[in-house]
Amino acid sequence: MKSYFVYILSSRSGVLYVGVTNDLEHRLLQHRAKVQPGFTAKYHCTILVWYETFHDVNTAIETEKRIKGWRRSRKIELIEKMNPTWRDLSEGWFDDQATSAGPRSLGRLGSLGMTRAAESGSTSARDTAPRRET
């Protein structure tokens, strides 16, 4: 089953970016390499502070749009319920072994119940950290 991800990136100064993708690792690498000139490149948004997994692309897109419409304070509340220290959730994803082996599965992720979409089968990073396949 195909997975889709709604995610929030932060800069070191706290600028937030909300996006959606079907390949979170690849998209994060694109943001970090500044492949596309735009918001994340301009404001150095490279720290993955929140994400949620969906199995329906339309639900993922709707959730992204809804979160983009939220006030900053509500986005911060969403992040801090899952990631109170704002650590980079992608820590360890891109070490030499993972990148040389190609993409790896994010594993089964538990639901936060943070967005309306969570009620319809989406999952979040809170309960289970991504695991590297060996």
DSSP states along 60-86: HHHHHHHHHTS-HHHHHHHHHHH-TT-
pTM: 0.74
Query: pLDDT band at residue 28, thresholds of 50, 70 and 90?
Result: very high
Query: pLDDT band at residue 25, thresholds of 50, 70 and 90?
Result: very high
Which amino acid is present at 114?
M
Name the helix (H) or strand (E) containing 97: helix 96-100
Structure tokens belonging to residue 122: 């989406």
Query: pLDDT band at residue 128, thresholds of 50, 70 and 90?
Result: very low
Instruction: Check pLDDT > 80 for residue 89.
Output: yes
Which homologous superfamily is 4-124 in? GIY-YIG endonuclease (3.40.1440.10)
Rounded-to-integer distance, Cα 3 and Cα 24, Å: 10
Where exactly are the structural domains of the chain?
4-124
